[in-house]
Amino acid sequence: MTTHSAELRPHPATPCDAIRRFAVTLAPQSPHELRIRFRVDGDIGRLRLPLPEPARRRDGLWQHTCFEAFLRPDARDAYYELNFAPSGDWAAYRFGGRREQRTSPELRPPLLSFSRHAVYAELTADISFAELPELAATAAIHAGLSAVIETDDGRLSCWALAHGGERPDFHDPATFALRVMRA
């Protein structure tokens, strides 16, 4: 698998002028590990980015600043949603179809690192496919990379590779805009 770089775009209904650029990179670390790096450039002091704490699995991360990866094996309806918070909290879900048949697969926590600077912030997540057999066995993955960013005034801005509708919806198949070959 080769390294892929892309830009996230704000949904027109949720702009954020504090962010100048939002880049994401997917890079293989081994045949069964993937590194995703999110980098936000802009006036970082205007964003609510919690400090790192002991990591724990937690639902509802999208209600505040949260970086997300939606990964669908080629030729499948099923997909995984992985959420990463700057605090170190994380969540993982498997869906049998669009917002259907949600389960919480048993996974070891992803390795997360977060750094914050005056003009940029960066979150890196290392994901193992060991407990995600559908992703481990596929030749290609359709990735939807996205983020919810909370500003200092409490507003939420939704960012993704692509947006499919009038309202932000990261589960929309149109947002799975990056096809990553694993072989």
Percent of the chain with pLDDT over 70: 98
Residue 133 φ/ψ, nearest 5 degrees:
-60, -35
d(C-alpha 118, C-alpha 115), whole Å: 10
Cα-based distances in Å from 58 to 17, 25, 54, 66, 109: 29, 24, 12, 12, 11
pLDDT in tens, 30-61: 878 899 999 999 999 999 998 888 889 999 99
d(C-alpha 86, C-alpha 63), whole Å: 13
With cut-offs at 50, 70 and 90, classify the pLDDT of residue 75: confident
pLDDT in tens, 117-163: 999 999 999 999 888 989 888 888 999 999 999 999 999 999 999 99
CATH topology of domain 4-162+171-181: Immunoglobulin-like (2.60.40)
Strand, helix or coil at 45?
helix
d(C-alpha 80, C-alpha 129), whole Å: 11
What residue ranges in the chain does DSSP mark as E strands?
Answer: 4-7, 9-10, 19-30, 33-42, 66-73, 79-84, 90-95, 111-116, 120-128, 140-150, 156-160, 178-181
pTM beyond 0.85: the answer is: yes
